[in-house]
Amino acid sequence: MPFALGIGTGSIPPAAPAATALDTPVFVSLGFPRPGARASPTGDTPSSLLGERCPGQLARLRSPIGITYAPMAFALSAELERQLEQIIVRYPNKAAACLPALHMCQRANGGYVSDEVIAFVAERLELGPAHVKGVVTFYSLLNTRPPGRHQVWVCRTLSCCLRGGENLLAHCEKRLGIRAGQTTPDGRVTLRTAECLASCGSGPVIQVDEQYYEHLTTDEVDRILDRLLFEG
C-alpha cells in the first residue's frame, strides 16, 4: 500500500488506489517450511511481504508493486502414486523410503530433482526439506538440473586410471566436444566423472545410464557414443 511522509504540520497521506487484478495474492516458493509451520521472515525478505503458509509447501507473497508469480507444482500420476505407497510400506518408517521415492520422482520429472520435487517428497515422507535436499546433493545419481537424454559416467578412480581411464575421459571430451559436467548442444549426452564405479578389476569402465561397459578401448567407446548420438 503506497504511503507518504508528512512534511510540515497537517499533511495528509494520499488515498489508496482502487484495487486491481495485480493486487490478487498468488503463491510463490519461499523455501520449504516444515509441514504445519508458518512462513517466517528472513534477513533478506521484508516481513511485510510474507503471509500465510499455503498447501504444497508454498507461501503467499504480495509484491510491493503488485507483480505476482506462481511456480508449477509437482505431482505423480495415479499409477505412480500407487507405486509410491507400495514403496513406503516396505520400510519401518517413511524416512527410510526417501532414496527410492526420489528416484521415482526424478524419473517422473524428466530426469532431475527440482525444488518442487523436494517439497513433494518432504511432505509425503514427513521430513524436513533440508533433509531431503541433503540426500539429493549427496548421491551423484540424483540430478539437480535437467541432464541430457543419456548420461555417460567415466570412472576416474586409481584402478581405472592405471588402465587408461584418464585417456578415455579425454577421448570422450574430444569426441563429444564438451567437458565433463556438460551436455552436448543437441541435448543427447551428458558427460560426467565418477569417483568409483565399483568395478575395479575390469577397468577402464564407463556407465551409460544404468548399463556398465568394462575393459574398454577407445574404439569401443566410439561405437557406444555413436549409438547414443545418432541412434538413441
* Cell numbers standing for residue 231: 541412434
Query: For residues 12-27, b (16+ Cβ closer than 10 Å) or e, as one string?
Result: eeeeeeeeeeeeeeeb
Q: According to the model, what pLDDT value does residue 72 have?
A: 55
For residue 48, pLDDT over 50 is answered with no
Q: What angle do CA 40, 42, 46 make, to 5 degrees?
A: 90
Q: According to the model, what pLDDT value does residue 58 have?
A: 40
The total of other beta-carbon atoms located within 10 Å of residue 9's CB is 5
Task: Select the more confidently predicted residue: 38 or 191.
Answer: 191
According to CATH, the superfamily of the domain at 150-230 is Glutaredoxin (3.40.30.10)
Q: What is the pTM of this model?
A: 0.63
Q: According to the model, what pLDDT value does residue 73 have?
A: 87
For residue 219, pLDDT over 50 is answered with yes
- Asked whether this chain's domains 78-138 and 150-230 adopt the same fold, the reply is no
Q: Residues near 203 by Cβ (< 8 Å), separated by ≥ 6?
A: 155, 159, 160, 162, 163, 164, 165, 214, 215
Looking at domain 78-138, which of 1.10.150, 1.10.10, 1.10.3470, 1.10.8 is its CATH number?
1.10.10
Chain mean pLDDT for the chain = 77
49-79 per-position pLDDT tens digit: 333 333 343 433 333 444 444 445 899 999 9
Whole-number Å distance between alpha carbons of 106 and 109 = 5
Task: Select the more confidently predicted residue: 74 or 18.
Answer: 74
Q: According to the model, what pLDDT value does residue 40 have?
A: 40
Percent of the chain's residues with pLDDT above 70 = 69
Contact call for residues 28 and 71 (beta carbons, < 8 A): yes
Work out the average pLDDT over 37-43. 41
93-137 per-position pLDDT tens digit: 999 999 999 999 999 999 999 999 999 999 999 999 999 999 999
Q: Residues near 202 by Cβ (< 8 Å), separated by ≥ 6?
A: 214, 215
Listed in sequence order, the DSSP H helices in the chain are: 78-88, 98-108, 115-125, 129-138, 158-162, 165-176, 218-230
Q: Which residues pair with 213 in a beta bridge?
A: 206
Q: According to the model, what pLDDT value does residue 167 have?
A: 94
Cα 211 from chain centroid? 23
Kindly list the domain boundaries of the chain, sorted by start residue. 1-71, 78-138, 150-230
For residue 16, pLDDT over 50 is answered with no
Work out the average pLDDT over 178-206. 94
Q: Residues near 98 by Cβ (< 8 Å), separated by ≥ 6?
A: 121, 125, 127, 131, 132, 135
83-95 per-position pLDDT tens digit: 999 999 999 999 9
Q: According to the model, what pLDDT value does residue 112 have?
A: 95
Q: What angle do CA 182, 185, 187 make, to 5 degrees?
A: 80
Q: Is 85 strand, coil or helix? A: helix
Q: Is 183 strand, coil or helix? A: strand
